[in-house]
Amino acid sequence: MLIQQTSTSLIETLRLRRQKLANLINFPAILWSGSNSPRNFLANTFPFRASSHFLYFAGLPLSKAAIRLEAGKLELFMDDPSPSSALWHGEMPTREEIAQNIGADVARPMAELESWLEDAATLAVQDAATWTQQSQLLNRWVLPQSPPQGIDLELAKAIVSLRLTHDEAALTQLRKAAAVTVEAHKAGMAATPKAKLEAEVRAAMEGVIIAHNMTTSYTSIVTVHGEVLHNEQYHHPLQPGDLLLADVGAETEMGWAADVTRTWPVSGKFSSTQRDIYNVVLAAHDTCIAKIHPGAEYGDIHLLAATVIAEGLVELGILQGNPQDLVEMDAHALFFPHGIGHLLGLDVHDMEDLGDLAGYEEGRERSDRFGLGYLRLNRPLRPGMLVTIEPGFYQVPAILNDANVRSTYQNVVNWQRLSEFADVRGIRIEDDVLVTAKGSEVLTAALPNDADTIENLVSC
């Protein structure tokens, strides 16, 4: 458990957040923090991460706690540390001290929670021990993988409406996560010339994050096989002709995330084919970021990325045809199969524990089109939203070797020409972009992304 003083201004922010929630719902909400999941015995646990909805209103990553929010009031439910805990964990703050720290109005032992459940809404926490407890206490299923219903759905919608845009306290945290992530990527580039394995570059990057007393906001991807979209293996040797794709983000102690990808040549020099494709992806990245402003439809930004990629691939002779027509037939998705990005906040893919409730404007649903099905955000943008922009190019064997895909797209892909780009398995360029009143601000802009500067950062 974190022992730290919460600043007066953060307590004020927490108060404001719960007052805003009170303006949206007229029933109590109980949010559980979650608990440490044991690995092999109770005291050896997986790293603990408090539920993001809890963190948003409580501000501290407490374990085995719950908060009850009603009419702007905060009641904290948690047990005092057990007498033996000081032996193993040192002196821990009492419930009353923690309550003061987060500006709670009342603090009670966990056992009293069952007297305060009436008419209360909740949201499922991911760990099984906690969602089982939620279900038992509330006498209804509260399941992490099922969409919330009834008052739980009302609560979810209210929280989404608050967490969609970030207040100043959140932005301070998000900027810290972004700054450390930039430093981590620079360290990864600098470590590459001497590294023999992907694992060594990962260690250099995560070392920076750990040294800032932060954690990663998702499992790092550091791989020469960038065509495996969520590759979580680090054993491959680094060969001079490889591109290394690093998707690594920091998370602050309070749980706020960054999500950044860079792709660099292991040798410090892009081959001409790698540079050509890199510049197509970068053009999509820059064009999309230039279009981010309040009112812009994120779905249109995705289609813009698809169009720029299709144009670039036509110019390189990999695709043939009119770029707009190619996008309409999803030919771009052969090489760019995922969405242009997602919401970012207390989580990478912020609030995706609620399915598409946060990502999709009410009344909109996911498309089943190959080129649109993985679009995670489909809303008009508003000031205060933080989104990622992450176009990519991948040669995924499961897509490109599929017989149906081959026959559907046989006339629009120049397979012979494509084979000349065999040294480009996966490229992604990802930045974190805040929507502002006037347009946008790239929180991760301090990390260069043009090919020449990337080469210099790797080589120096």
Residues 427-456 that bind Mn ion (CB under 5 A): 430
Distance between CA 440 and CA 293 in Å, rounded? 6
E strand residue ranges, 26-119: 29-32, 38-41, 44-45, 66-70, 73-77, 106-108
**Residue 279 contacts by C-beta under 8 Å, 6 or more apart in sequence?**
312, 451
Least CB distance from residue 320 to ligand GLY, whole Å? 30
Question: Token digits for 62?
Answer: 């407490």
Burial group, residue 253, by CB count within 10 angstroms (0-12, 13-18, 19+): middle
Residues 394-453 that bind ligand GLY (CB under 6 A): 430
Segment near Mn ion (CB under 5 A); pick from 39-47, 89-97, 188-196, 385-393? 385-393
Distance between CA 413 and CA 364 in Å, rounded? 32
Residue with smaller CB distance to Mn ion, 17 or 175: 175
Residue with smaller CB distance to ligand GLY, 260 or 313: 260
How many residues at the interface with ligand GLY, by CB under 6 A? 7
Least CB distance from residue 204 to Mn ion, whole Å? 18
- Partner whose binding site includes residue 222, from Mn ion, ligand GLY, none (CB under 5 to 8 Å by kind): none
Distance between CA 172 and CA 256 in Å, rounded? 9
Residue with smaller CB distance to ligand GLY, 22 or 442: 442
Quick note: the x/- pattern for ligand GLY over 347-366, rule CB under 6 A, is: -x------------------
Task: Please identify which residue in 75, 198, 206, 247 interacts with Mn ion, judged by CB under 5 A.
Answer: 247
Task: Please identify which residue in 80, 129, 165, 218 interacts with ligand GLY, judged by CB under 6 A.
Answer: 218
Residue with smaller CB distance to ligand GLY, 148 or 339: 339
- Partner whose binding site includes residue 218, from ligand GLY, Mn ion, none (CB under 5 to 8 Å by kind): ligand GLY
Question: Token digits for 135?
Answer: 């279900």
Number of CB atoms found within 10 A of residue 97's CB: 12
Residue with smaller CB distance to Mn ion, 133 or 263: 263
Q: What is the DSSP string of 191-235?
A: HGGG-SBHHHHHHHHHHHHHHTT-EESS--EEES-TTSTT-----
- Partner whose binding site includes residue 13, from ligand GLY, Mn ion, none (CB under 5 to 8 Å by kind): none
Number of CB atoms found within 10 A of residue 3's CB: 12
- Partner whose binding site includes residue 206, from Mn ion, ligand GLY, none (CB under 5 to 8 Å by kind): none
Segment near Mn ion (CB under 5 A); pick from 52-60, 121-129, 201-209, 424-432? 424-432
Q: Is the dihedral of CA 116, 118, 124, 128 positive or negative?
A: positive
Closest CA to 198 of 216, 221, 229, 180: 221
C-alpha dihedral (151, 156, 160, 162), degrees to nearest 10 = 60
Distance between CA 339 and CA 59 in Å, rounded? 31
- Partner whose binding site includes residue 431, from ligand GLY, Mn ion, none (CB under 5 to 8 Å by kind): none
Residues 376-395 that bind ligand GLY (CB under 6 A): 390
- Partner whose binding site includes residue 234, from ligand GLY, Mn ion, none (CB under 5 to 8 Å by kind): none
Number of CB atoms found within 10 A of residue 231's CB: 20
Closest CA to 273 of 242, 302, 296: 242
Least CB distance from residue 228 to ligand GLY, whole Å? 13
Q: Using an 8 Å Cβ cutoff, are 62 and 33 in contact?
A: yes
Residue with smaller CB distance to Mn ion, 127 or 247: 247
Does the footprint of ligand GLY cover residue 259 (CB under 6 A)? yes
Distance between CA 202 and CA 223 in Å, rounded? 9
Quick note: the x/- pattern for ligand GLY over 311-350, rule CB under 6 A, is: -------------------------------x-----x--
Least CB distance from residue 202 to Mn ion, whole Å? 14
Closest CA to 78 of 91, 90, 93, 88: 93
- Partner whose binding site includes residue 242, from ligand GLY, Mn ion, none (CB under 5 to 8 Å by kind): none
Tell me which residues touch ligand GLY (CB under 6 A).
218, 247, 259, 342, 348, 390, 430
Tell me which residues touch Mn ion (CB under 5 A).
247, 259, 261, 388, 430
